Amino acid sequence: MTRRVRRGDRDIQAPDGAIRTLADESSYAVVLTGTDNHIRYVSPQAVQITGYSADELVGMDPFTLIHPDDQDRMRRLFAALRSRPGATVAAECRALRKDGSLWWAAARGTNLLDDPGVRAIAVTYRDITEKKGSDDLGRTAEEALRASEERSRLILATARQAYIAIDSAGVITEWNTAAQFTFGWTRVEAIGRELAALVIPPRYREAHTRGLKRFQESGEARIIGKRLEFPALHRDGHEFPVEFSISLLRHGSRYSFHAFVADVTARSRLEAALREGEARIRSIVESTSDGIMFVSADGRVASVNGRAQQMLAVEPAAVGGTGFAQALEQIGFGPQDREALSAAAQAVLGGRREDYQGDAELPGRRLVLHWVARAARDTIGELTGLTFTLRDVTQDREVSRMKSEFVSFVTHQLRTPLAGIKWLLELAADATDGQDARTYITDAREVNERMVRLVNDLLDLSRLETGALQVDVQPVDLGALTKSVIAELEPGIRQKGHTVVVTGDAGVPPIPTDARLLRQVLTNLVSNAVKYTPPGGTVRVTMSRDAERVHWSVEDTGIGIPARNIPLLFQKFYRAENALAINAEGTGLGLALARLIMQRLGGDVWCESEEGRGATFFCALPLERRPADHPSVDQARLDR
Ligand code: ADP
């Protein structure tokens, strides 16, 4: 009878019934190995001896059942047997059970490949473990144990880490070479001594003794298996930090403690240095005037320094840990800036760029920020994230905008008169009549004078703005100064048929101030009143004083100023709508200069007006100089 068993892709044949019965009933384990070198059949005894099930054994390579040390020898024998049909060989070998345990087998193999009923190599095994016995195996086990102990001792003795063992009374039983280096005591000196007395600083000895006692009484040992750091005592008396882990060994009723100890002085120092370095960097980051935002490698906001919190008006808790793109939206950047910033972050974090920079606006806060995104790397160059440095450039951008506006203004203001002068001079050169030539030259001189005034105003303005203008303080008679200004402007006043009235000048005492600068203020105010008043108007200059200040006003009956223009009147280059409409010549510098001068002199100037109903400009100057308010005034005198 043939039984077909399917196993994987192979068809294997169980032996013929007679042989199987024989095999099954034999006291030997029988294993049949087919031509494919795999087990085809196993007897129940084989299952019993090996611990594998029949299913597991069938299909297996028979040599996996043999101890690795004996496999080569058995393979050689088996190969020889295969080539000799009908032959039989016998051998003893070590074999392995499924649980890994060892047994000794007496094997006898017969080549029955030629036998049409079998077509296999039949091997019978007998368990001779007992006979091989206690002697052989026992000896091997004992030898193995001894060898392993020897090996352990050697490892411990030569370990680079200190190894100490103590018994239950706390007396040292092992002390390797590294322990000698760590603690200063030799093995001979240490063994037999109490551990506490040798390496534990006095203030911890009692706790150590208590711990040992507790263990003796209750078996409770809190420190076993944990990694601990503690101060230890060196032979020379200095303390140093050690890290150790303790294990417990029981030998029957006795036990011992074993510890590996590492001197971590260097590490502690390094950690302290790291902590110090970190604190230093944190204080630098916090004290810098730049905003700094750190984005981790996974694209999340990791930290925001104080300045950045201030600039972006964010709480670290609100953006910390959130994705960068989300944080940008929360902060209030516009869509375009968000896109640029995110793209920069991606390029840097993706390793495509080392740095990136640009400007971004916070419209809600009227801020322009210049940002630089730079890859942050650790000491071995690995990318750890990216640093965003933010600088408030709102003012810089405003200044450069104003500069370009200024340049275009000045160019415009100078080009027209220059072209005029050129034209007048050409006419004068070509004139055949001497009188004509003189008229052209006089006109050219006038235009030229206007240009000189403009340039002087600009120069004064810039000196006042930068604080470079020197103030020469002398007692000044305001009434006399006003009259002299009016006399100078007389031709224009007369031309327009204005009446000019000065009152109150007798009651005003001399003021300690700079006559040249004050004259400039008065000239600007009176000439504006003349200029912005239609012919036949009245210009009134009124003076008075109180306990602290001298006041005066310049009032006219002219075009006045629209209410909405008044707040901007004292800005550079600013001209009211109605003044532009009547096309009166002007630069918008006179009032800006007047305000800067009055401030510099410690006084004030302001305006009240109604459109179409004239304008009044008010001024005030202190009766006494307050040097504290204007240190540069004193400084200017000292400098001379
Ligand atoms: P400018 O007179 O050269 O234009 P100012 O700085 O002196 O420049 O004056 C600024 C603007 O203030 C003038 O352009 C004008 O609109 C307005 N302004 C000044 N003074 C008067 C005034 N007395 N009446 C009406 N508008 C005036």
- Cα-based angle 622, 485, 572 (whole degrees, multiple of 5): 70
Q: How far apart are CA 88 and CA 122, in angstroms?
A: 9
Asked whether the predicted pLDDT for residue 149 surpasses 80, the reply is: no
Which atom of ligand 1 is nearest to 533's Cα? 24
H, E, C per residue of 39-73: EEEECHHHHHHHCCCHHHHCCCCHHHHECHHHHHH
Nearest Cα neighbor of 106 from 23, 14, 27 is 27
Asked if 558 and 540 touch (Cβ cutoff 8 Å), the reply is no
Asked if 123 and 34 touch (Cβ cutoff 8 Å), the reply is no
Cα 585 to middle of ligand 1, angstroms? 10
Asked if 492 and 527 touch (Cβ cutoff 8 Å), the reply is yes
The residue whose C-alpha atom lies closest to atom 7 belonging to ligand 1 is 590
Tell me the pLDDT tens digit for each residue of 9-55.
333 444 555 455 555 555 678 888 888 888 988 888 888 888 888 89
Asked whether the predicted pLDDT for residue 3 surpasses 60, the reply is: no
Asked whether the predicted pLDDT for residue 147 surpasses 80, the reply is: no
The residue whose C-alpha atom lies closest to atom 19 belonging to ligand 1 is 528
H, E, C per residue of 369-412: EEEEEEEEECCCCCEEEEEEEEEECHHHHHHHHHHHHHHHHHHH
Evaluate the CA torsion angle 465, 466, 468, 472 in order and state its sign: positive
Asked if 349 and 376 touch (Cβ cutoff 8 Å), the reply is no
Asked if 230 and 265 touch (Cβ cutoff 8 Å), the reply is no
DSSP state of 507: G
SS3 call for 584: coil
Cα 366 to middle of ligand 1, angstroms? 30
Burial class (CB in 10 A: 0-12, 13-18, 19+), 489: buried
Cα 589 to middle of ligand 1, angstroms? 9
Q: What is the pLDDT of residue 268?
A: 87
Task: Supply the DSSP string of 469-491, one letter for each residue.
Answer: -----EEE-HHHHHHHHHHHHHH
Q: What is the pLDDT of residue 634?
A: 39
Q: How far apart are CA 423 and CA 440, in angstroms?
A: 9
Which atom of ligand 1 is nearest to 529's Cα? 23
Cα 588 to middle of ligand 1, angstroms? 7
Q: How far apart are CA 579 and CA 5, in angstroms?
A: 115
- E runs forming strands in 484-534: 499-503, 511-513
Asked if 592 and 572 touch (Cβ cutoff 8 Å), the reply is yes
Q: What is the pLDDT of residue 308?
A: 92
Asked whether the predicted pLDDT for residue 603 surpasses 70, the reply is: yes
For the chain, what's the residue count? 640
Query: Ligand 1 — pocket residues by CB below 6 A?
Result: 524, 528-529, 532, 556, 558-561, 569, 575-576, 579, 586-592, 615
From 575, 616, 618, 619, the mutation candidate for ligand 1 (largest count of ligand atoms within 8 A of CB) is 575
Cα 479 to middle of ligand 1, angstroms? 23
Q: Which residues of 221-233 are buried (b: 16+ CB within 10 A; e: fewer)?
A: eebeeeeeebebb
Q: What is the pLDDT of residue 202?
A: 92
The residue whose C-alpha atom lies closest to atom 8 belonging to ligand 1 is 588
Tell me the pLDDT tens digit for each residue of 432-478.
988 999 999 999 999 999 889 888 888 888 888 888 888 999 999 99
DSSP state of 629: G
Cα 569 to middle of ligand 1, angstroms? 7
Query: Cα torsion for 61, 67, 73, 75, to the nearest 10°?
Result: 0
Higher pLDDT pick, 16 / 416:
416
Q: How far apart are CA 52 and CA 61, in angstroms?
A: 13
Cα 462 to middle of ligand 1, angstroms? 20
H, E, C per residue of 237-276: CCEEEEEEEEEEEEECCEEEEEEEEEECHHHHHHHHHHHH
Asked whether the predicted pLDDT for residue 117 surpasses 80, the reply is: no
Tell me the pLDDT tens digit for each residue of 493-510.
999 999 999 999 999 999
Cα 576 to middle of ligand 1, angstroms? 7
The CA–CA distances, whole Å, from 190 to 199, 208, 343, 573 equal 10, 18, 66, 93
The residue whose C-alpha atom lies closest to atom 3 belonging to ligand 1 is 586
Asked whether the predicted pLDDT for residue 519 surpasses 60, the reply is: yes
Task: Label residue 215 by pLDDT band (50, 70, 90).
Answer: confident
From 530, 532, 557, the mutation candidate for ligand 1 (largest count of ligand atoms within 8 A of CB) is 532
Structure tokens at 626: 């307050």
The residue whose C-alpha atom lies closest to atom 20 belonging to ligand 1 is 528
Asked whether the predicted pLDDT for residue 617 surpasses 70, the reply is: yes
> pTM of the full predicted structure?
0.46
Decide the pairing of beta strands 538-545 and 499-503.
parallel
Q: What is the pLDDT of residue 148?
A: 66
Cα 573 to middle of ligand 1, angstroms? 10
SS3 call for 575: coil
Tell me the pLDDT tens digit for each residue of 291-328.
999 999 999 999 999 999 999 988 888 888 889 999 99
Cα 575 to middle of ligand 1, angstroms? 6
Q: What is the pLDDT of residue 582?
A: 87
The CA–CA distances, whole Å, from 307 to 78, 286, 290, 361, 510 equal 84, 7, 6, 17, 51
Higher pLDDT pick, 114 / 5:
114
Q: Dihedrals φ, ψ of 178, to 5°?
A: -65, -35
List the end-to-end C-alpha distance of the chain, in Å, as a whole number: 134
Q: How far apart are CA 112 and CA 123, in angstroms?
A: 10
Q: Where does residue 38 fall: left (phi above 0), alpha (psi -120 to 50 degrees), or beta otherwise?
A: beta
Structure tokens at 105: 């087998």
Asked if 615 and 560 touch (Cβ cutoff 8 Å), the reply is yes
Decide the pairing of beta strands 254-263 and 162-167.
antiparallel
From 412, 522, 528, 561, the mutation candidate for ligand 1 (largest count of ligand atoms within 8 A of CB) is 528
Q: What is the pLDDT of residue 143?
A: 67
Nearest Cα neighbor of 113 from 58, 33, 21 is 33
Cα 612 to middle of ligand 1, angstroms? 14
From 496, 541, 591, the mutation candidate for ligand 1 (largest count of ligand atoms within 8 A of CB) is 591
- Which residues are paired to 301 by β-bridges? 295
Q: Where does residue 271 fall: left (phi above 0), alpha (psi -120 to 50 degrees), or beta otherwise?
A: alpha
